[in-house]
Structure 1
Amino acid sequence: MDFRQLKTFSSVAELGSLSKAADRLRIAQPALSRQIKLLEHELRAELFTRNGRGMVLTEAGKLLLARTAGIVRQLDQIRDDIQSQAGSPSGRVVLGLVPTVSYVLSARLARRTVERYPGISLCIVESYSGHLTEWLHRGEMDLAVVYGPSADLHLSMQALGRDSVVAVGPRGSGLSRKKRVEIDWLLRQKLVLPSHSHGLRALIEHAAAKRKMRLDVQIEADSFRVLTSIVEAGLGFTLLPPSSLREQVADGRLEIATIAKQGPMRELLVAAPIDHPGSAATAAITALVRSETKACRDEGLWDIRLG
């Protein structure tokens, strides 16, 4: 195996298409296909199945990707850092954002990156903390903004701040009239929450356990947009940061209420893989995340207590 073959394999695996990988790598598709076949011949295993949906990893392909994704990213970063020494940071940065943070930050980060760092190619991936930390561990992502606690994640961490959450319900739920509710009342309602692998669920489960209460979770949703649409449909309540709900609340689609006696707070972290140093481009994006978070707080767009 050589780096060129692994780079080709990684790109095809990520994009699921030879033609898309050829466009990204600026290599003719027949040459790309030949590299994959040579790699498969050397490993004596098929790495992809080819069907109408494109290139799908086999079990052998999944194993190879898990073992080599981090290596490929590190070699790319070495090249980018050497090239960055002569000028401003350059290279590709894959940044993960939890959905509630993505709502506030993603467009601002994209704009600032274009303005300040034209040599950086920024890829923003939105998902819950559980998925983002898994991708960081596998070396498929350079950086992510996730929810703690930090002791459980085994990653390189920088504290970003603490994010408050509010009770969220559908139109007509009475939350906007109440303005403030007790956490015990909220935990007795029908709830719509992410599954157990995600930070928001752990936070609420912990609050219920302290009160020896059992949650009534009839529907789970591992998508922020699905979760809020289910609440809009009147099928339950949830807890989310108010900064991520401005449009739905302004339109009257959702109602919110603060939680009495200081409700649950979430530790917000900037996380990176612990086993290799980040590139100059990654450091630049980390600094942008911190500066834009502060700007959002100062502009009243995000009620976050900075770390």
Structure 2
Amino acid sequence: MSAMTSALNSDDLACFVCVANAQSISRAALELGADQSTVSRQIARLETALDTRLFHRSGRGVVLTEAGSTLLGYARQVATTLTEARDAVRASAAQGPAQLVIAAQPTIANTAFAAIGTALKARFPATKLRFVEGLASPVLAWLAAGEIDVALLYLPEQQGALKVDVLLEEDLTLVTPTSWSHLGPTFPARRLGEIPLILPSTANGLRVLAESLATRVGTTLNMAMECDASNTVAMRLVEDGCGATLLPFAAVADRVAQGRLHSARVVDPVITRQVALTTARNRAVVPELWDIMQTVRQSVRSIVMSGAWPGARLI
């Protein structure tokens, strides 16, 4: 590439077109919101790069030379092309990504996906939406690998690779067979060691939370069995009398209302989990990500405020 070609730039060409149209450097400066010396320098830079005069100067203004007339046609083409490119890019961005993949842990997915899908489809009708449900470990792996774009998760202990926007918090409840309803509406954390529990294996965030709580209140968990399957499986085991489990109330509200399970809020201390909207720090940002995140946040807010996410509190 020659020095002359490399010296040309769209700003100088746009300035040149403005001066040519105005037939005056001073009038062009007013239109551009610049001072005359700046406009003069840009024209001089173009003339140096092209090694030719572009204007004849006079006391009444400027007139294009033959070379200037030749350049004007090309400069206008450049300006038109840049405008079309800008408009096309903005229109494409406004439509959102071609595809958007959102993952969530089961309870969150069951509670929020329908409302989020409705809101996103209204905002980005051209975007192909895909929802994925999974436990925390695989969801985090998918996020890191770029297989999903956004995740709704119970806030993990390690957040180094994540961008996190905390949405809400909810208390965990002790979920028992209905025959254990004598335990009452609340259950002291110090007595957890008395209850045969059905919880995920030790790598799961819920199990880590339960173990940490037991240590704080000076007791040891009484594990009846480990269940790394879905919450639905854990609740069925509880219904069948195999033990109790710990879950957010939103996961069990329907079964409690149907008289299939009993729940008691764990107190002294209360066990709280936060739900966060997360993206990966090391992945390319999808188009209109800020707008997508705001749409999801507003959807979650509406769910909580309507009472459709029982036990949740906005943050």
Q: TM-score, normalised by structure 1?
A: 0.67
Q: 1:86 deviation in Å?
A: 5.7
RMSD: 2.2
Does residue 283 of structure 2 align to residue 305 of structure 1? no
The match for 1:159 among 161, 166, 173 is 166
Q: Distance in 2 between matches of 1:92 and 1:83?
A: 17
Q: 1:237 deviation in Å?
A: 0.8
**What does residue range 68-107 of structure 1 map to in structure 2 within 5 Å?**
82=89, 85=92, 87-107=94-114
Letter in 1 for 2:132: V
Instruction: Point out the structure with max Rg over C-alpha.
Output: 2
Q: Distance in 2 between matches of 1:130 and 1:82?
A: 36
Gaps of 5+ in 1: 1-80
Q: Distance in 2 between matches of 1:84 and 1:267?
A: 36
1:141-176 deviation per Cα after TM superposition (whole angstroms, max 9, x unaligned): 11111122454453121122222111111121115x
Q: 1:236 deviation in Å?
A: 0.9
Does residue 211 of structure 2 align to residue 211 of structure 1? no
Does residue 195 of structure 2 align to residue 189 of structure 1? yes
Q: Distance in 2 between matches of 1:164 and 1:185?
A: 17
**What does residue range 28-43 of structure 1 map to in structure 2 within 5 Å?**
none
Letter in 2 for 1:305: R
Q: Distance in 2 between matches of 1:233 and 1:83?
A: 57
1:207-235 deviation per Cα after TM superposition (whole angstroms, max 9, x unaligned): 01223422122322221211111111111
Letter in 1 for 2:209: L
Match of 1:247 in 2: 254
Give the 3 Å change call, closer, same or farther, for CA 161–296 of structure 1 in structure 2. same
Letter in 1 for 2:198: V
- How many residue pairs match? The answer is 226
Q: Distance in 2 between matches of 1:170 and 1:83?
A: 56
Match of 1:12 in 2: none
Q: TM-score, normalised by structure 2?
A: 0.66
**What does residue range 1-307 of structure 1 map to in structure 2 within 5 Å?**
82=89, 85=92, 87-149=94-156, 151-174=158-181, 178-222=184-228, 223-302=230-309, 303-307=311-315
Is the 2:102–2:132 Cα contact (8 Å) retained in structure 1?
Answer: yes
Match of 1:14 in 2: none
Q: Distance in 1 between matches of 2:243 and 2:149?
A: 36
Give the 3 Å change call, closer, same or farther, for CA 256–153 of structure 1 in structure 2. farther
Q: Distance in 2 between matches of 1:105 and 1:96?
A: 11
Q: Distance in 2 between matches of 1:115 and 1:272?
A: 22
Gaps of 5+ in 2: 1-87
Letter in 2 for 1:220: E
1:225-252 deviation per Cα after TM superposition (whole angstroms, max 9, x unaligned): 1111111111111111112222111111
Give the 3 Å change call, closer, same or farther, for CA 108–183 of structure 1 in structure 2. same
Q: Distance in 2 between matches of 1:195 and 1:82?
A: 48
Is the 2:199–2:207 Cα contact (8 Å) retained in structure 1?
Answer: yes
